[in-house]
Amino acid sequence: MEQVSSTHETSAPRPSFQRILVALEYPLTSSEILAVALDIAEKYQGNLMMCHCLEENLAPHSEMLMPSMISTGIYSAEIWEVEAEVFAEHRDKIRTWLHSLNEETQSKGIQSDYVCLTGNTGAEIVALAKDWGADLIVTGRRGRKGLSEAFLGSVSNYVFHHASCPVLVVQHQDNG
């Protein structure tokens, strides 16, 4: 009787994370999230796209101002100008922060880029992942539960359920 070799391979193909989108929150959980993304990029020789999204409700919208709001004093032009200035300063601060993270990442030999988005954070991350062709999204989670998560929502939950690629959620380690 002839013996048949039983070395049949049934292993699934290994994932290849070449394009890793890293969603960062200034500056709360970013070091933890970036450390995980860097490890993955090093292991798979991947590229990083770091992003931060400024919430749409923080951005001033001149198109939302009705003349009656300004003339009645509900919302003055001066207030709008101050809000626009504060928003621009915050956006510049975020861009500077992302630029420094990008330089730090590239100094470790990892190709990377960054973008500062404005809008609904979850939807913007999902759209960027699709447009950029991400193989993986790495994001953080603050640990909201119950009513807090129900009312405030969870960006990581939204991204997890709407992204067209795998999502790795890094739980924030509270040291206090």
* Confidence (pTM): 0.78
At residue 3, the pLDDT reads 54
Angstrom distance (rounded) from CA 29 to CA 32? 6
By DSSP bridging, strand 167-171 and strand 47-55 are unpaired
Angstrom distance (rounded) from CA 104 to CA 6? 49
Angstrom distance (rounded) from CA 165 to CA 100? 27
Across the chain, which has 176 residues, the per-10-residue mean pLDDT values are 52 79 84 94 96 76 50 66 87 95 96 96 97 96 58 77 94 64
Angstrom distance (rounded) from CA 110 to CA 65? 45
Ordered DSSP codes for 12-35: PPPP---EEEEE--TTTTHHHHHH
Give the residue extent of every domain in the chain: 54-111+121-132
